[in-house]
Each structure stands twice: as structure tokens, then as C-alpha cells.
Amino acid sequence: MSAWETIIGLEVHVQLDTATKLFCRCAYEYGGQPNTQTCPVCLALPGALPVLNREALRLGIRTALAVGADVATHTKFDRKNYFYPDLPKGYQISQFDEPFCSGGAITIEFKDGSTKRIGITRIHLEEDAGKSTHRDTGGSVVDLNRCGVPLLEIVSEPDMRSPEEAYRYLTALKLTLRYIGVSDCDMEKGSLRCDANVSVRPRGQEAFGTKVEIKNLNSFRNVQRALEFEVARHTAALEHGSEEIVQQTRLFDATTGETRPMRSKEQAHDYRYFPEPDVPPVTIAGDEVEAIGATLPELPRAKVDRLATAHGLPRYDGWVLAEEPSVADYFEEAVAADAANDPKAVSNWVTNEVKRVLNEGTHTIDAFPIPSGALSGLIAMQRDGAVSATQAKEVFQGMLETGDDAPTVAKARGLEQLSDTDALETAVRAAIDACPKAVADVRAGKEKAKGAIVGHVMKQTRGKANPGVVQQLIDRVLAE
Ligand SMILES: [Zn+2]
């Protein structure tokens, strides 16, 4: 065990999927023409007043309930003052000391099935800023479309002890957010952003080490890489005094895998928070919270638990299926379509073949050319020996291309396995006549020699004979 202990906390910003922005009626679509999705409110023109979009708060409450947090009965908004060219008001409307939500947790699961609870300190609502682009040719331009888009800031407790735990927390959090439909969580579009706080202390020491914040993390892998770099830097500083660790904000460079200083870390008082005078405090009624809770779907961990217990699946399979709720639904429909199929066999088909096709990006699960019942039919054909494993994959490909069911494709492409004993017996007898040496070897106890006879039958039937049936027939004929 290392003499040092790593402490990691994460701040995640998620853009909420509302029809309009947090305090005005502008719709926001990523990638729109710059400065076309704005109005006097989000442009901060004099006299324009914000009005809270209640739907954003409802999506926030939905998130709070999904992570088991407490929803406040009373909440308010505050001004966070700072200057930036993409922030026309000169302040951001955020929440300071009375967020709408506190507590809760995300449970992460490790490969060996063990789990750990990562606490959530608070979740609050705030508005997004615009986007500055600094041109290589000199000068900067600003796009204010993103100004006022609702953001949830989800702050974790400093409960993570390794970059890997941070990665797992982010993955689990994102999956939960996608399940409840509050955000598409697409990091490439900036709808999910993450800042990481990290410090290292001697194991056993209670006081935290000097904390560094890392920004510019555009993928979960990069969060992990940046943290690994920082942990190594802090540890070297503590062990060899290689440098002095100062509290600061650092930027991650994905090309070099290193971080570099950006600015000294600001303190809360630097922002001169004060209650937002233009947005009245908000009361949240118990029945509103209850009504939102009643619409929550089955959450990822509960789904994996159920897939494991109801269908006897390994948890690994459960997590692969649960990555997309509709893929898990497809699996369960396929299982229900034929009770004689082994659920693990169905899971193998869905997690391998179906997901492979989905990953190619030409088909979605909701409009998959092979309905769940048809996949179940194919699995039944393989189970009953009507097609071999190799033939089943070819039939699958045919079903994908034509939309026909498994028996139709198998017949049309001549992919049926010959299992008819009468038809095969003729071929087996011919093979036995044609391979006297192999027959003598089998009779002398060399089981392996049977392969030559099977091979002969396969050649005669162009690979369509059911090998299991052929083996049985060889035994029977030789025993005559
Ligand atoms: Zn607007």
C-alpha cells in the first residue's frame, strides 16, 4: 500500500434538455448560427428581466431523486459576479447558500462486483455562459447562443481515492442522467463538462493536502489521465520536494497528457455572491416532488440487479445490456418470446452481434431490422440444431439485410443444417466405405480418427450436415 492517499472530488456541469433557456424563452440548439438564439434577456440588454423556467427545476428535482438526495422546500438564486467577454451581464445567476438539493450518492461498481458509495454534496441550477473562440489569425469572437442555457452543477464529496474511481463515478453518473432523460450528456457538444479537484496527503493524516483544480477535461478518459498525472506530480513533490504544490487551477493538455497552471484558484468571496434581486425565491411543494418521483424509470443498478436475478445473467452482461435501456428491453422481449431459449445465449447474441451492428451506426435499436421475436427464432434454430453456430451468424446477416425471419433466410440461402438421419445415413455409410483406414483406427480405439469420417460426410453435404447427428450415426453404423 502506498504511503500516500489521493483525495478526489468532481464538479460536473450538465446542460438540461429543456425546450427553452433557464430565464428566457429562447430555444437552444447546439451548432446553430452564432448569435441567432438570443433575446434581450440572455443578451443582458438594459431593463430585460429573467423569469425562471420551472421545467429546468423539475428536471433538477428528477436528478435529485434519482441519486437519493434531499429536495429543499425553499430555494433561491444568487449572483456570482465575474467578468468574462462571453458573460454579457457581468454576473451569472447561480445558487450559493440555498441550493435546491443536497445529499445523495452514486454507487460505483468494480470488476469484482464490489461497490463503493460516492457522496454528493449538493446539486444546484445555474445559467451557462456564451462561448469565446480565439482565432489563430488573431483576435477573438464570441457566440452568445449558449448564454442562459440551464445547467445543473453536481458537486461530489471528496470520496474518490483513485483516478479509476473518478472514471467509474462519471460513467455511473452519466448513465443515470441518460436513464432519467434530463440531458444527452454529450461531452463533444459540451452538454456534460467536468472539473476535477485533487490533493494527496500522507496516509493516516486527517488534514487534506493542497488542492488543485483541473479544467479542460473533454472526455472521461482524459479526466482519468489528468488525475493520474497530478497524483504523480503531487507524490513526487511530497517525496522528493521536487516542487512546491500551490493551490491553483490547471489546464489539461490531451496531447502531452500533462497539466499546466492556468490561474490561482479563486475563493468563493472573490465572486461577491449576493441574492439575485430579479428572481423571486422559489417554494417547492411536497406533492410536486412526489409527482416527479412517480415518473422515474427503473435506474441502471436496479436494472442490472434484476437482469442478474431474473435471468441468471453475469453482472458483466447485465451492465453491457443496461448501457442502453432499450437494448435491455430488446433482450428481455427476446427472452420472453421463447422460454426454451437459454437467457445467457440470448444475452450473447444481443451483446455481441446486435451491439456490433448498433456500434456501426447504421441502425438504431428502436428501428432494428430484426425484431426481438425473430432473433429468438434464430436462437431456437441453433438450439435445435437446425443451423450450426457459423450458419446462424450468416442467417443473422441475411435477416439484417432482408428483414425476413430466420427460417425464411436459412431456406433461401441454403443454410439449413442437415439433421435428418435418413438422409444423412446414406452419406455416413458412403464415408465409412471411403475411409477404411480411419474405420480400422476407430475400431482400434483411436477416437480421433472419427474426424476423417465426419470430414468426408461434411464434404459430401457441403458442410450442411449436423456434426452431432453425424457422430451418432457413425457410432451406430460401426456398431452394427
Ligand atoms: Zn434569450
pLDDT score of 403:
93
Q: What is the pLDDT of residue 113?
A: 86
* Centre of ligand 1 from the C-alpha of residue 57, in Å: 18
- What are the strands, taking DSSP E only, across 203-281? 212-217, 248-253, 258-264, 274-275
**pLDDT greater than 80 at residue 418:** no
Query: In this predicted structure, what is the pLDDT of residue 442?
Result: 87
Number of H helices, E strands in the chain: 16, 17
Q: What's the CA-to-centroid distance between 101 and ligand 1, angstroms?
A: 26
Separation of 37 CA from ligand 1 center, angstroms? 7
Q: How far is the CA of 52 from the centre of ligand 1 (A)?
A: 12
From the CA of 186, how far away is ligand 1's center (Å)?
23
Tens digits of residue pLDDT in 216-268: 898 999 999 999 999 999 999 999 888 899 999 999 999 999 999 987 766 76
Residue 147 alpha carbon to ligand 1 centre in Å: 8
Query: What is the 58 CA–ligand 1 centroid distance (Å)?
Result: 20
Strand 4-15 to strand 105-109: parallel, antiparallel, or no bridges (unpaired)? unpaired
Q: What are phi and psi of 249, to 5 degrees?
A: -100, 130
23 CA to centre of ligand 1 in angstroms: 7
pTM of the model as a whole: 0.86
Taking the centre of ligand 1 as the mean of its atom positions, its distance from the CA of residue 28, in whole angstroms, is 9
Distance 74 CA to ligand 1 centre (A): 26
User: If you measure from the C-alpha of residue 413 to the centroid of ligand 1, how many angstroms do you get, rounded to a whole number?
Assistant: 59
Which residue has cell 427472452?
Answer: 335
* Average pLDDT of the segment spanning 450-454: 88
- Determine the pLDDT at residue 265: 65
Element (H, E) at 107: strand 105-109
- 184 pLDDT higher than 70: yes
- In angstroms, rounded to a whole number, what is the distance separating the alpha carbons of residues 178 and 192? 11
Q: How far is the CA of 99 from the centre of ligand 1 (A)?
A: 23
Q: Which of 304, 360, 364 is nearest to 332 (CA)?
A: 304
Measured in Å, residue 148 CA sits from the centre of ligand 1 at 7
Question: What SS3 class is residue 192?
Answer: strand
pLDDT at 416 over 90: no
Residues 283-322: tens digit of each pLDDT: 999 999 999 999 999 999 999 999 999 999 999 999 999 9
Contacts of 406 (CB under 8 A, 6+ apart): 374, 377, 378, 381, 387, 395, 399
Interval 195-223: pLDDT, tens:
999 999 999 999 999 999 999 898 999 99
Mean local confidence (pLDDT), 112-136: 95
- Evaluate whether 172 touches 108 at the Cβ level (below 8 Å): yes
Domain boundaries, the chain: 4-292, 300-412, 421-478
DSSP string, 339-387: TTS-HHHHHHIIIIIIHHHHHHTS--GGG-SS-HHHHHHHHHHHHTTSS
Span from the CA of 178 to the centroid of ligand 1 (angstroms): 26
CB within 8 Å of 162: residues ≥ 6 apart = 6, 8
pLDDT one-digit tens code per residue, 366-404: 999 999 999 999 999 999 888 888 889 999 999 999 999
CATH 1.10.10.410 correct for 421-478: yes
The helix (run of H) or strand (run of E) holding residue 132 is strand 131-134
* Cα distance between residue 82 and residue 184, in whole Å: 29
Q: According to the model, what pLDDT value does residue 465 have?
A: 81
Span 323-343, mean pLDDT?
A: 96
Residue type, 471: Q
Q: How many CB atoms lie within 10 A of CB 134?
A: 8
> What per-residue confidence (pLDDT) applies to 266?
67
| Average pLDDT for 77-100 | 96
How remote is the CA of residue 146 from the centroid of ligand 1, in Å? 9
Whether the pLDDT of residue 96 is over 90: the answer is yes
What is the per-residue pLDDT across 145-183, written as a single tens digit (0 to 9) for each? 999 999 999 999 999 999 999 999 999 999 999 999 999
Average pLDDT, the chain: 93
Ligand 1 geometric centre to CA of 51 (Å):
11
What's the gap in Å between 247 CA and the centre of ligand 1?
37
Residue 270: the pLDDT is 85
